[in-house]
Amino acid sequence: MAAEEPVVSVWTRPRRRKEQPALSRAQIVAAALELLDAQGLEALSMRTLGARLDAAATSLYRHVANKDELLELVVDEVYGQIEVPDVWGVDWRRAVTTCAESARAALLRHAWIASVLGQTGLAYLGPNVMRLNERMLALFEAAGFSLAEADDALSAVMAYVIGTATTEAAWLTTVSRSGHSEQEWLDRLRPALTEATKPYQRLHALATAQGDDAAKTRGDSFHYGLDRLLDGLAAHLTGR
């Protein structure tokens, strides 16, 4: 019987004992993150990154086997920017809200990530992802959830945050490509949106009632959904 192929991931491949002193993994990840933020996913290649670091692409392969492994590292780096406060017990909602806000902010700072989440191999084995999950599970447990319920609660919150932030990131990427500010872009769209929704009473009412602060509207919408999700978790915890 043939041996099973190993799972290919930067997190499952043993690291070399000696890293090249002139180029560390941290340097590679930092440069890749900077490139992605500045030019987007399409600009990232091992050759382009090597040129940015003034190093041959072969130097990068001492640390990562390919672009997919590089993205695993960069995604984990972004997750390392998410804050989980040291607030437990009765203040669990405030702590979860802080973490959710921090996660949304990190995902929006790095809008390119919306197109790779769910496609980055074994990203959940990254140390920053695991530290985040461990702390969030502990937070929910301290609030009174069982470990299994804490896992489900964490999944629900992160699914909401990632789904919402992914939509926002895609929108902000479109706005950025227009060369206009978000509010300018919305103002340019408003006449077409108003006209297109005229046959639809409720959509038209919403379109014509839009405020003049697009960023605040997005933030208010995010918090409304998060609050209703936490309401449900709180009701379950109280009524159990």
d(CA 23, CA 26): 8
pLDDT tens digit string along 137-196?
999 999 999 999 999 999 999 999 999 998 998 888 888 888 888 888 888 888 999 999
- pLDDT at residue number 15: 67
DSSP-assigned letters across all residues of 92-130:
HHHHHHHHHHHHHHHHHHTGGGGGTTT-STTGGGSHHHH
The overall average pLDDT reported for the chain is 87
Asked whether residue 80 carries a pLDDT value surpassing 80, the answer given is yes
Contacts of 92 (CB under 8 A, 6+ apart): 139, 140, 142, 143
Which of 47-56, 59-68, 96-105 reaches the highest mean pLDDT? 96-105
Q: What is the DSSP letter of 14?
A: P
Burial 140-165 (b: 16+ CB within 10 A, else e): bbbbebeeebbbebbeebbebbbebb
- pLDDT at residue number 91: 87
CATH class of 84-239: mainly alpha
pLDDT bin (cut points 50, 70, 90) of residue 20 is very low
**Domain ranges, ordered by start, for the chain:** 84-239
Mean pLDDT of 218-222: 95
Mean pLDDT of 23-27: 88
Between 149 and 67, the more confident residue is: 149
Q: CA angle, corner 158, sides to 153 and 161, nearest 5?
A: 130
